[in-house]
């Protein structure tokens, strides 16, 4: 699995150019990012994003672990990892089920077409596949609904932890300035 710094994909500057359908930072900003000190051998001081998982189509993340990670930062990072793993497991199961059911549907359609005509190698049309997709979505509606509710709850907990981390950083900055001025 190859990974690259998340800051090269999402940064505060407008520095996106299209190169092989991938958003990348401008050359100037990329050099600037390369010259930043490496704080962590695991991630180079940044969160890292990898190539999409072929089954889930989700990009795995490796989260940067700061040298002086506070308890709230650790809880936030661990929660993010937990949510990522939960999401990956859900989509792996879902997509496996989808491909298995799709394969069964295609085979049954080909067999029914073979009975109706002399030609046994008939392809399934887009209209026929659309009825499979609609049926699959209907059959899994409740599962998707429960997933969405759980996803919202997990994201709200991440937002709360993120705000606590930001608040902690703000307090540290304010109190460190007061100590320096005294």
Both tokens of residue 142? 């409740």
**What residues does 62 pair with on adjacent strands?**
48
- The radius of gyration of the chain from alpha carbons, rounded to an integer in Å, stands at 24
pLDDT in tens, the chain (182 residues): 555 555 444 443 333 333 333 344 444 444 554 444 444 445 568 899 999 999 999 999 999 999 899 999 999 999 999 999 999 999 999 999 999 999 999 999 988 888 777 665 678 899 999 999 999 999 999 999 999 999 999 999 999 999 999 999 999 989 887 666 65
Quote the CA–CA distance of 111 and 32 in Å, as a whole number: 60
pTM beyond cutoff 0.85: no
**What residues does 22 pair with on adjacent strands?**
19
Q: What angle do CA 56, 61, 65 make, to 5 degrees?
A: 155
């Amino acid at each position: 699995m190859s990974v690259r710094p998340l800051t090269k994909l999402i940064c505060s500057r407008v520095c996106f150019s299209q190169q092989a359908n991938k958003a990348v930072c401008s050359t100037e900003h990329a050099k600037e990012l390369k010259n930043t000190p490496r704080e962590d051998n695991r991630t180079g001081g940044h969160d890292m994003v990898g190539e999409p998982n072929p089954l889930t189509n989700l990009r795995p993340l490796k989260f940067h672990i700061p040298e002086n990670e506070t308890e709230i930062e650790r809880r936030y990072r661990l929660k993010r990892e937990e949510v990522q793993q939960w999401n990956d497991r859900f989509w792996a199961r879902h997509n496996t089920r989808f491909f298995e059911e799709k394969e069964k549907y295609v085979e049954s359609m080909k067999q029914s077409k073979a009975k109706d005509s002399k030609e046994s190698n008939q392809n399934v049309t887009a209209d026929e596949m659309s009825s499979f997709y609609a049926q699959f979505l209907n059959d899994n509606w409740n599962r998707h609904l429960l997933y969405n509710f759980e996803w919202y709850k997990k994201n709200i907990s991440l937002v709360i932890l993120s705000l606590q981390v930001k608040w902690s950083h703000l307090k540290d900055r304010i109190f460190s300035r007061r100590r320096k001025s005294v």
